[in-house]
Amino acid sequence: MLHKVYAMGIVGLAMSAGEARAGERIPADVRKHIEDRVDGDYTAGIVVGIIDAKGPSYFAYGRADRDRKQRLDENTVFEIGSITKAFTGILLADAAERGEASLDDPINKFLPPEMKLPERNGKKITLLDLATHRSGLPRLPENIDLSNERDPYAAYDQKLLYAFLSGYSLERDIGETYEYSNFGMGLAGHLLARAAGKTYEQLVIERICGPLGLGDTRITLSPEQRGRFAQGHDGTKETDPWNLNALAGAGALRSTAKDMLRFLSANLGMVESPLSPALRRSHENRRPTGQPDQSVALGWHVRTTHDTEIIWHNGGTGGFHSFSGFVPAKKIGAVVLTNSTDDIDEIGLHILEPRYELQRIRKRTKVPAEVLDGYVGYYELAPNFIFDITREGNQLFAKLTGQERYPVYAESETKFFFTVEKAQLTFNREADGKVESLTLHQFGTDQKARKLGPDYRPPAPRVEVSVDADILARYVGKYELAPGALFDVILEGGQLKIKLASQPRFPVFAESETKFFYKVVDAQITFVKDSDGKVTSLILHQGGRDQTAKKIE
């Protein structure tokens, strides 16, 4: 589940139905691209800002809510998600500058002495390991319950954080491998706040927002700020704000484009403040990520594609996406904020280095209702993996088994596209004109789904049944799907929970004594017993495939 004080003037003018505010220095192709995204319903609205030697300039297009009642501008408040990690890296650099902590301090220095912490081969996790995603800790803790999709991190408190940290066994050497970790950066924020005797938000306000004049960068919003808070969207669906509780340092902050440009100007050295040495230090200590042209600093990531060094971070929550980055050599920074899960990173990258290309925004066309009716029906992508195509008015909708229903838009009479995913559908006809299949275009592959007959009816929803705890206990253990890929099955509070490799742990629900299903993804598990009743393996059913994992302990 994880994506901004100068009181400088804004150059703006009123524009069209989207109520755009145009900064004179925002490139024309960027403005057009943003208008196309909003008008094409990829997102409700976008605010972009650039900062350079001439000062800030903004462009806003769309609305803060789908009903177009609240306009967007540089003072609209957005969730900035994982851009928070850059703030956490700066807090660490500042603590080092103050002599309160060293980057090489082991994390046990900042935790209760009685806590048992994960170590490996005699090495302890350090603050630097956390800030550069090389601690060996997973992306998310296994004991987080993500079933509340509207606010998945809210219930994850300090007690759960400490319980996971005390019981986790590292699966790789500390410092060996880059693995992006929301848990690790959330832990770093918690440790720095604990050392200072404050909450994470108090520490950010005191040591970053105060010196830089970031009056709208907060976790807890005032009533006035809540009035400027954009409504988040996942596709066309409105979402709830996210609250990160104990993992605040990984993604809890909210901010505005105006504040974020002040933040970037300070990182660019355009103004000096008591924080300047810490800002410069946060850009250093780079380590490889294993990805071409990308390394990691303290919380920040660094790209060097096109021979241009960009220091950046993005963020994503349940209803927002954000980008913040700057080019030290050019003294230019850019922020892009949207109240949608639509990935807008390419806009920020293109502003900072035009050789990063903007994707083509597909344009809609009208298709007669009688043509759309020919597409309505069920299409089998794989066994038990069915597209359900429906029509409401002149709008076609597509729902894939286990997923939500989304609108698809026509770019020709046979070709349609999603705005919530980078995916397209093509409807295929036989020689007589009858629709016989559709093709899903996604991730560079084409998958054909044949149209099922008019008598087809989808299977009934899965029904959860109760299974005795003694039977559930027999399924606990580890199952090898492939070398290095283990299913780890535990029983917790009468609930069976399964973790695959480094993925989060999810609950599974019984539909019989041996058959279980996930609610977070369209997948099922069958436990297999021998003639003596001993559990010998499990079978994962997903995407039309059955994969067996042998029980090894």
Once rounded to an integer, what is the mean pLDDT over residues 489-514?
89
Model pLDDT, residue 503:
79
pLDDT of 17 higher than 50: no
Once rounded to an integer, what is the mean pLDDT over residues 502-514?
89
pLDDT over 90 percentage in the chain: 78
Q: Please, what is the angle between helix 182-196 and helix 158-167, to 10°?
A: 120
| CATH number of the domain residue 535 falls in | 2.40.128.50
Q: H/E/C letters for each residue in 369-380?
A: HHHHHCCCEEEE
Pick the range with the lowest mean pLDDT from 94-98, 167-171, 341-345, 400-404. 400-404
Question: Does the residue 27 lie in any domain?
Answer: no
Same-domain status, 438 and 484: no
Domains: count for the chain: 3
Same-domain status, 200 and 228: yes
Same-domain status, 148 and 249: yes
The number of beta carbons lying within 10 Å of the beta carbon of residue 431 is 6
Model pLDDT, residue 91:
98
Question: Does the residue 142 lie in any domain?
Answer: yes
**CA 534 – CA 528 distance, rounded (Å):** 8
Same-domain status, 338 and 257: yes
**CA 362 – CA 372 distance, rounded (Å):** 19
Once rounded to an integer, what is the mean pLDDT over residues 286-315?
96
pLDDT over 70 percentage in the chain: 95
Once rounded to an integer, what is the mean pLDDT over residues 529-536?
94
**CA 521 – CA 532 distance, rounded (Å):** 32
pLDDT grade, residue 236 (50/70/90)? confident
Model pLDDT, residue 339:
96
Among 451, 484, 514, the domain boundary falls at: 451
Question: Does the residue 72 lie in any domain?
Answer: no
433 phi, psi to nearest 5 deg = 90, -5
Same-domain status, 271 and 396: no
Question: Does the residue 235 lie in any domain?
Answer: yes
Once rounded to an integer, what is the mean pLDDT over residues 402-414?
90
Model pLDDT, residue 351:
98
Same-domain status, 97 and 221: yes
Which of 159, 165, 130, 357 shows the shortest CA–CA distance to 250?
Answer: 130
pLDDT of 16 higher than 70: no
Once rounded to an integer, what is the mean pLDDT over residues 198-218?
98
337, 320 in Cβ contact below 8 A?
Answer: yes
- Residue 16 vs residue 176, higher pLDDT: 176
The number of beta carbons lying within 10 Å of the beta carbon of residue 357 is 9
Once rounded to an integer, what is the mean pLDDT over residues 383-406?
89
- pTM higher than 0.85 for the full model? no
pLDDT grade, residue 12 (50/70/90)? very low
Pick the range with the lowest mean pLDDT from 23-27, 212-216, 326-330. 23-27
**CA 247 – CA 253 distance, rounded (Å):** 11
pLDDT of 6 higher than 90: no
Condensed to tens digits (0 to 9), the pLDDT of residues 58-110 reads 999 998 876 667 889 999 999 999 999 999 999 999 999 999 999 999 999 99
Same-domain status, 166 and 285: yes
Same-domain status, 404 and 524: no
Question: Does the residue 33 lie in any domain?
Answer: no
Model pLDDT, residue 66:
66
pLDDT of 479 higher than 90: yes
Among 307, 326, 352, the domain boundary falls at: 352
Model pLDDT, residue 22:
52
Burial class from Cβ neighbours inside 10 Å (0-12, 13-18, 19+) for residue 421 reads: middle
Model pLDDT, residue 96:
97
Condensed to tens digits (0 to 9), the pLDDT of residues 266-287 reads 999 999 999 999 999 999 988 9
Among 318, 352, 386, the domain boundary falls at: 352
| CATH number of the domain residue 161 falls in | 3.40.710.10
pLDDT of 5 higher than 80: no
Same-domain status, 180 and 271: yes
Same-domain status, 250 and 345: yes
pLDDT of 203 higher than 80: yes
Output the CA–CA distances (angstroms, integers) from residue 188 to 90, 156, 242, 440, in the order listed.
11, 15, 19, 42
Question: In the numeric block, which tokens belong to residue 119?
Answer: 């170590």
Tell me which residue range forms the domain holding 258.
Answer: 82-352
317, 251 in Cβ contact below 8 A?
Answer: yes
pLDDT of 4 higher than 80: no
Question: Does the residue 22 lie in any domain?
Answer: no
Same-domain status, 183 and 306: yes
Question: Does the residue 32 lie in any domain?
Answer: no
Question: Does the residue 363 lie in any domain?
Answer: no
Same-domain status, 388 and 530: no
Q: Among all chains, which residue has been given the structure tokens 């603050």? A: 127
Condensed to tens digits (0 to 9), the pLDDT of residues 18-63 reads 344 556 789 999 999 999 999 988 889 999 999 999 999 999 999 8
Model pLDDT, residue 1:
23
